[in-house]
Chains A and B, each alone.
Chain A
């Protein structure tokens, strides 16, 4: 009996019943519900900004906000798809249209501000960095929660899974933070909101293997 035969005997001897994965849709709904609960608690605890409801009643702003939530939800669905061996990696592109709509909406906001205020619309507001901080702080626990749910992806597609995980967590966090912070021009929203999402996602892509290795499901 060679080593492989011995290994097969040993593995078969340890074939305990395992719990199969739920469908990607079901797991997405569970995670989005958990994430939204956490974000709602955060918004309620902090107190929403004055006039948030009126702002969201403007179609452009509403589309932009819904697009950010949609980016988060679709990125989570993509995570639950590509993290399973044998499922198509093309699912990774799923959140792209929503992300384009979201970031495009912010970009249009910049142009609208410029048309109304001129050069003042591009004034740098250093204090707005708090948005990026809040998005990051909210994204970390949300992202870790999602990573744990797809920890098996460490041996399949660690980089793209970690990137989409961060995108999902950050996009939902940005939607929550936009209900709290106020007084920023669109450029600052683009810089700090989209910037935070971009930095978190690309960092997760680069260190995906290490992240899963830290969880215990991939080798560095």
Chain B
């Protein structure tokens, strides 16, 4: 299960840091893209200041979005990429070093992640092209608006079935199947053990299969 969403305090350990506090309060006294301020917020975040970390994540999001859009285009992939960059940054936030510029640190993480995603996209495309080749070779059946409608309905049912899963199972499916995280990464993201995540994923798939079979949308 993902961590519980909490409301962030407006004041915290940043009492002595007027400018930082102002940023957290939303009264931006400086350019929010200023690397020095982000650096400051990150140092506080490394010490466990959640409000500072929240402010930092909100502050860097537009900047990161511009990077992911540059690499991945303006579609959903860019937003997925942005979320992945945020997760990676969270995971290795201990590598930010006091006194070093923040933006090069962040840029390296973002660009490396985007390149990985592009690589994965190329791999997926190649795979899909191969599959299309196989489909083209196969006997042609039912191409037309009816099939398109049927597929759309199947997708809708699948989305409903996923939404109806218990939270733990839904989370497991989201992390392992949709975000394609490894078991270790997913376990870390949702604060579960690898074992319980496996069980949740297994149960979720079983439950989905049962639901979809009932609705007659599984074609094997």
Contact = CB atoms under 8 A, between A and B. Distances in A.
Interface of A: 3-4, 6-21, 23, 84-86, 152, 155-157, 213, 216, 219
B125 interface: no
B107 A16 contact: no
B185 interface: yes
Interface size class on chain B is 35 or more
B6 interface: yes
A88 B189 CA distance: 29
Nearest to A8: B57
Majority SS of interface residues in chain B? helix
Nearest to B88: A155
Interface stretch (B96-104, B135-143, B162-170, B208-216): B96-104
Contact of B5 (A13, A155, A156): A13
A86 B6 contact: no
Given A15-B45, A20-B94, A21-B97, A85 B105 contact: yes
Closest 5 CB pairs of A and B: A86-B105, A17-B48, A12-B54, A85-B108, A86-B104
B66 interface: no
B61 A20 contact: no
Contacts of B49: 15
A84 B54 CA distance: 23
B94 A12 contact: no
Contacts of A9: 5-6, 8, 54
Interface string B37-73: 0000000011111110110011001000000000000
A10 B95 contact: no
Question: Which of the listed residues A3, A4, A19 has the most CB atoms from chain B within 10 Å of its own CB?
Answer: A4
Contact of A8 (B47, B61, B98): B61
B112 A8 contact: no
B78 to A, nearest CB: 11
Contact of A155 (B104, B105, B109): B109
B116 interface: yes
Contact of A12 (B8, B79, B181, B185): B8
A4 B82 contact: yes
B87 A156 contact: no
B82 to A, nearest CB: 6
13 contacts: A9-B6, A12-B57, A14-B3, A15-B45, A16-B48, A17-B46, A17-B48, A20-B46, A20-B94, A85-B108, A86-B104, A152-B95, A216-B185
Interface string B73-84: 000000100110
B184 interface: yes
B34 interface: no
A153 B76 CA distance: 27
Contacts of A157: 112
Given A21-B95, A216-B184, A13 B4 contact: yes
A10 B94 contact: no
